[in-house]
């Protein structure tokens, strides 16, 4: 498999750009994680936070692999272009959402709420979170929380066309959200405030929109298709191909140079010269003399053989 580093970098930046939104959704959960831990137990608190985020990112990667399996079936059926257009359209919607120009992504979250209704009770059963395994499990469940930005990233993961590519893209997206989500206290407020500034938010949103347009245009997929075509060509067996029905009558061989061709190993025993037209053949004087000598030698050999047989 060829890893598309440009796709992974883009997914990481998408996660980083949308991390302010993640803080808004996951901030309450992060607070709940630390309620059962004394304030002076900083090492244990960090262990829980890391475990929770590891579970969350792993759930993103799992989602990416799942949609990648379906995307591979669509790609093999010739629908790769449609997947790329869908990913680009949702990335544009993500940019509009980040800039607060259009909130259309919220409609996508409606479908995810049906699944979340079944998963949420398992998350509540893990409270209070006082051990790393509980935090890991809670993060794995909370990663499925309905989120339009995550769904947009999933569409981009689908555009990779396979399970491994989709999983890696969502892994990179999750890692992009990690710095802001992990930050606590004053640092979290500073990062969130910086990302919420209108100039910065609009700039990031425009970058995401441009990336969506670039995805629709086909950026980041040309080299992947080229390598696939090359691998297919190298793996094809041409030995069983039947060329008997091919029509070569229209081919022009006048410009071909046969001077370097080696005819020593060619088998002419099955060639039929009965229908060949020799009227246009041109033999130079040297060639005619050579042919004449060969004919005389052949005639002399024939006469000698006949005399020997008569005796």
Six token digits for residue 218: 């086909």
First to last CA, the chain: 80
| Structural domain boundaries enclosing 147 | 5-220
CA 226 to CA 206: how far, in whole Å? 30
The answer to whether residue 251 is domain-embedded is: no
- CA-nearest of 91, 116, 104 to 210 is 91
What integer pLDDT is reported at residue 113 of this predicted model?
Answer: 85
What integer pLDDT is reported at residue 232 of this predicted model?
Answer: 42
- CA-nearest of 3, 14, 285, 300 to 147 is 14
The answer to whether residue 284 is domain-embedded is: no
Q: 3-state secondary structure string, the chain?
A: CCCCHHHHHHHHHHHHHCHHHHHHHHHHHHHHHHHCCCCCCHHHHHHHHHHHHHHHHHHHHHHHHHHHHHHHHHHHCCCHHHHHHHHHHHHHHHHHHHCCCCCCCHHHHHHHHHHHHHHHHHHHHCCCCCCHHHHHHHHHHHCCCCCHHHHHHHHHHHCCCCHHHHHHHHHHHHHHHHHHHHCCHHHHHHHHHHHHCHHHHHHHHHHHHHHHHHHHHCCCCHHHHHHHHHHHHHHCCCCCCCCCCCCCCCCCCCCCCCCCCCCCCCCCCCCCCCCCCCCCCCCCHHHHHHHHHHHHHHHHHHHHHHHHHHC
The answer to whether residue 263 is domain-embedded is: no
**Would you write out the chain's pLDDT as a tens digit for each of its 311 residues?**
566 788 899 899 999 888 767 766 666 676 666 666 666 777 888 888 899 999 999 999 999 999 999 999 998 998 889 999 999 999 999 999 888 898 888 888 887 888 888 998 998 888 888 889 999 999 999 899 888 889 999 999 999 989 999 999 999 999 998 887 787 544 655 666 676 778 888 888 899 999 899 989 876 444 344 344 444 444 445 455 555 555 555 555 565 565 665 656 556 565 565 655 656 555 544 444 554 555 455 444 444 444 544 44
The answer to whether residue 122 is domain-embedded is: yes
Six token digits for residue 206: 């425009």
Indicate the DSSP class of residue 197. S
For the chain, the domain total comes to 1
What integer pLDDT is reported at residue 115 of this predicted model?
Answer: 86
Residues in the chain: 311
In the block, residue with structure tokens 């075509």: 229
The answer to whether residue 297 is domain-embedded is: no
Q: Within 13 A of 267's CA, how many CA atoms are on the CB side?
A: 2
The answer to whether residue 163 is domain-embedded is: yes
The answer to whether residue 241 is domain-embedded is: no
Q: What is the dihedral of CA 132, 135, 141, 142, to 10 degrees?
A: -150
The answer to whether residue 208 is domain-embedded is: yes
């Amino acid at each position: 498999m060829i890893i598309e580093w440009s796709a992974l970098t883009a997914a990481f930046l998408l996660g980083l750009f949308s991390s302010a939104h993640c803080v808004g959704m996951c901030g309450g959960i992060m607070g709940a994680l630390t309620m059962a831990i004394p304030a002076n137990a900083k090492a244990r608190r960090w262990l829980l936070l890391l475990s929770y985020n590891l579970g969350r990112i792993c759930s993103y990667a799992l989602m990416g692999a799942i949609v990648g399996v379906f995307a591979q079936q669509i790609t093999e059926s010739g629908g790769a272009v449609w997947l790329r257009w869908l990913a680009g359209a949702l990335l544009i919607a993500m940019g509009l959402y980040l800039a607060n120009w259009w909130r259309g992504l919220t409609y996508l979250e409606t479908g995810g709420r049906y699944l979340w209704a079944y998963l949420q009770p398992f998350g509540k059963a893990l409270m209070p979170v006082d051990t790393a395994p509980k935090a890991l499990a809670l993060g794995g469940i909370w990663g499925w929380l309905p989120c339009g930005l995550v769904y947009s990233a999933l569409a981009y993961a689908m555009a990779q066309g396979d399970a491994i590519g989709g999983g890696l893209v969502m892994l990179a997206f999750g890692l992009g959200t990690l710095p802001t989500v992990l930050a606590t206290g004053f640092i979290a407020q500073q990062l969130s405030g910086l990302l919420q500034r209108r100039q910065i938010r609009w700039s990031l949103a425009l970058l995401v929109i441009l990336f969506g347009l670039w995805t629709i245009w086909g950026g980041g997929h040309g080299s992947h298709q080229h390598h696939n075509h090359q691998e297919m060509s190298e793996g094809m067996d041409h030995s069983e191909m039947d060329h008997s029905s091919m029509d070569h009558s229209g081919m022009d061989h006048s410009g071909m140079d046969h001077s370097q061709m080696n005819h020593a190993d060619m088998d002419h025993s099955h060639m039929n010269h009965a229908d060949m037209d020799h009227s246009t053949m041109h033999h130079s004087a040297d060639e005619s003399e050579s042919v004449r000598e060969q004919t005389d030698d052949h005639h002399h050999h024939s006469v000698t053989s006949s005399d020997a047989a008569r005796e």
